[in-house]
Homo-oligomer: A and B are copies of this chain.
Amino acid sequence: MALTPARTMPGVLELLPLDQIAFQRMLDVIRRNYERFGFLAVETPVIEYADVLLTKTGGETERQVYFVQSTGALEQGEKPDLALRFDLTVPLARYVAEHERDLNFPFRRYQMQKVYRGERAQRGRFREFYQCDIDVIGKDALSVRYDAEIPAVIYSVFRELDIGPFTIQLNNRKLMRGYFESLGVVDGEQQMLVLREVDKLDKRGADYVRDTLTGDAFGLSAEVAAKILAFVQVRSTSLQDALDKLDALGPGPEALEQGRTELKEVLGLIHAFGVPDTHYALNLSIARGLDYYTGTVYETTLNDHPQIGSICSGGRYENLAGQYTKSHLPGVGISIGLTRLYWQLRDAGLIDTAKSTVDVLVTQMNEAQLPAYLALAGELRGAGIATEVVLEGGKLGKQFKYADRAGIRFVVVLGEDEIARGVVTVKDLRREDQFEVARSELVKTLRVELEQAAAMG
């Protein structure tokens, strides 16, 4: 029989076990922090009805959808009515609309699952990737105070992920809209087009952007273009500086005043939530592409790795599920695209292959003593120590080599001599150290060692 080449499609990140462990630890940290802030777990099916998924979106997103058909439907030549979710926001909207009567509002949910996009195969573009989302959904109304809680969660997550200093950057779409209005750029779509140009500031430089804005396509005056460029370059260096810079914008239309009031309240409350001033800042260039953000918007960047871009983004939206329900459901949320983030961090050398989740390998010196090895392993497992026993046998050197390659730290040796003397020999492969311990003390000793290692990270 001819062999089928074992391979996966481009755009998926499949990991070797020790990398998978590193990835899993990141997932665990995020989940733990989400739960600590009172968010509740939700999972939704990967496959949704196509008409449910595609009510709102169109254009680019729609072209990237993966459609699904069972063998039967395919044979009958039917048009596919199922598709894979491309984000977690549309499924959240469907979930809240469907289960509205059974949920408690404000509804705080987290969801950490994979989403699918039929992207062109390209380095760093993923067709399957994890999103780790939180959202707070209000019924009819949701206080702007929740907008201040989100950065507290972001801070808590990224502090524990320990991937270097980061800054949570904030803006407010109302403020932005109001400021543009005050300059005579009133149309929403026109504002978005201007913002898209302004987004090129870093790559193309100020001259290019100014020329475009004052050129035929936009026809803005030099003065207006200059004001826009000055506006989007506003960054704060402290909480007080942020408040001052907001005041310095001067009076403006209602939207601007609303946005300013919201931003000031949010900035102040973030402080009350215990986020250090060093970790959040005003950044008036942040718009977020999605049309549905209406107030606060967030991006988070690693201070030492700006090229990675935003590692966690989101914002406030006016109405989550207008396509499914007449209920008015305002919300605020963020998303961490963990697959891409992990890939970028690994690429930048910021995360390493993990140690094994296996703590101890019990070697097999003597086949006849297998019951003794199994009993020992049982005790270790009973104490919560992940333990593997060599069942196959073979040379001791080979068993050590296996432990070393597999990243297992402790190797336990229990030969005739040890058994006679009531002791166990432990080899610590990380410290390249070896010690003997009374058989009855083994569990306690290893627990202490492992707890110390865990505490030191």
A321 interfacial by beta-carbon distance below 8 Å: yes
Q: How far is the CA of A116 from the CA of B82 in the complex (A)?
A: 13
Contact A381 B67 (CB under 8 A): no
Determine whether the beta carbon of A381 is less than 8 Å from that of B47: no
A381 close to B69 (CB less than 8 A): no
The verdict on A185 contacting chain B, using a C-beta distance below 8 Å, is no
Nearest-neighbour CB distance to chain B for A35, whole angstroms, equals: 5
Q: Which residues of B contact A378 (CB under 8 A)?
A: 273-274
Are the C-beta atoms of A145 and B391 separated by less than 8 Å? yes
Q: Which of B55, B65, B97 contacts A70, CB < 8 Å?
A: B65
Cβ 8 A contact of A387, one of B38, B80, B325, B387: B38
User: Is residue A171 within 8 Å, beta carbon to beta carbon, of the partner chain?
Assistant: no
CB of B324 within 8 A of CB of A4, answer: yes
Tally of contact residues, A, Cβ under 8 A: 107
Within the complex, what minimum Cβ distance (angstroms) separates A353 from chain B? 11
Interface residues of chain A, those whose CB is within 8 Å of chain B, are 1, 3-9, 12, 14-18, 20-21, 24, 35-38, 40-49, 51-52, 55, 62-74, 80, 82, 84, 93-95, 97-99, 102-104, 106, 108-109, 114, 116, 118, 127-128, 138, 141-143, 145-146, 149, 156, 269, 272-274, 321-326, 356-358, 361, 370-371, 374-375, 378, 381, 384-389, 391-393, 402, 405-406
CA separation between A14 and B70, bound complex, in Å?
A: 20
Smallest beta-carbon distance A78→chain B, Å: 12
The reply to whether A69 and B72 contact each other, CB–CB distance below 8 Å, is no
Most buried by B among A15, A40, A146, A378: A40
A67: chain B residues within 8 A (beta carbon): 68-71, 74
The answer to whether A104 and B45 touch across the interface, beta carbons within 8 angstroms, is: no
- Bound together, the chains give a CA A391 to CA B9 distance in angstroms of 46
A378 to B64, CA, bound (A): 41
Assess whether A374 is in contact with B272, with CB atoms less than 8 Å apart.
yes
Are B74 and A64 neighbours in the complex by a CB distance under 8 Å? no
